[in-house]
Structure 1
Amino acid sequence: MSRKKVWLNQAAEINNELILKGEQTDKIGRLEPTGQVIVDSEELAFVYLAEEESEYTYLYLPDFIWPEIIDALNKKQTVKVHIGENEMELKQLEDELNDLVMNIEGNSNYGDAFVEKVESAFIKK
């Protein structure tokens, strides 16, 4: 299975939803949400997996847009991605992030820099 990457580096609140947009280098076809989020600790990003036919497209959520995502989830807003012709809801994003944050907290396996970023963004002291 090959993979494409899209860095979601723009966030805007529109009609009570958080819309994420990004830079794509590959042509992106019709995306379907998987409801899965993984970690790329070297890139300091969470990665939402989307399916496009028999391929995965990795939607990178870099640390600098986490505050907007956290704010939207706290407001119970839908988080969507707009890429090319696609408009897709990031289904199960909140549950996935909550599970990952619990696993990452204090866990040096993810790398100190990533753990520090996650803890400072997601964990209320």
Structure 2
Amino acid sequence: MNEKVIVRRAERKDGRLWLHVHDAPISLARVTPKRHMLVDSDALAFVYLLEADDCFLYVMVPKPWWPQLKAALDAEEPVWLRCGERTLELEQFHDELSYLLENIRDNANYGETLEQAVQDVFFEP
């Protein structure tokens, strides 16, 4: 069964963007970065995939943390996930995010609300 965790805090520190989540249903020691992202248009969230033996763990990054994503993207800072004392680099995060941003821009297929939210955070001066 697939599980999800929601980022509760994002901070840029020590040249990295740290995405903090509370208790993950799967130990970070058991997951591998899938190097792939999706979008949840209804939740206004970017979703990074982690793979375990028999399921996926969806790391949901909701809109309140998008300004930190943009700043880290602009600064080319690696993105790391933190759950308690465990940490994991979210490999290819910027490549995947950039790809999604370009696909969402001026594309009503993702829904007007998501399209406008992405425009406001990532493309407005």
TM-score over 0.5 (shorter chain): yes
> 2:42 aligned with 1:42, yes or no?
yes
Q: Which sections of structure 2, spanning at least 5 residues, go unmatched?
A: none
Does the 8 Å CA contact 1:72/1:78 hold for their aligned counterparts?
yes
> 2:20 aligned with 1:21, yes or no?
yes
> 2:125 aligned with 1:122, yes or no?
no
State the 1:25 CA deviation.
6.0
User: Which runs of structure 2 are paired with 1:1-125 in the superposition (5 Å)?
Assistant: 2-24=1-23, 26-29=25-28, 30-124=30-124
Residue identity over aligned pairs, in percent, reads: 33
More strand per residue = 1
Does the 8 Å CA contact 2:15/2:77 hold for their aligned counterparts?
yes
- Aligned partner of 2:63: which letter? D
- Aligned partner of 1:20: which letter? L
TM-score by length of 1: 0.89
Q: Which sections of structure 1, spanning at least 5 residues, go unmatched?
A: none
Does the 8 Å CA contact 1:5/1:24 hold for their aligned counterparts?
no
Q: Distance in 2 between matches of 1:105 and 1:36?
A: 19
Cα offsets for 1:22-43 (capped at 9, x unmatched): 1346243522111100010000
RMSD (CA atoms):
1.6
Q: Secondary structure at 1:43's aligned position in 2?
A: coil
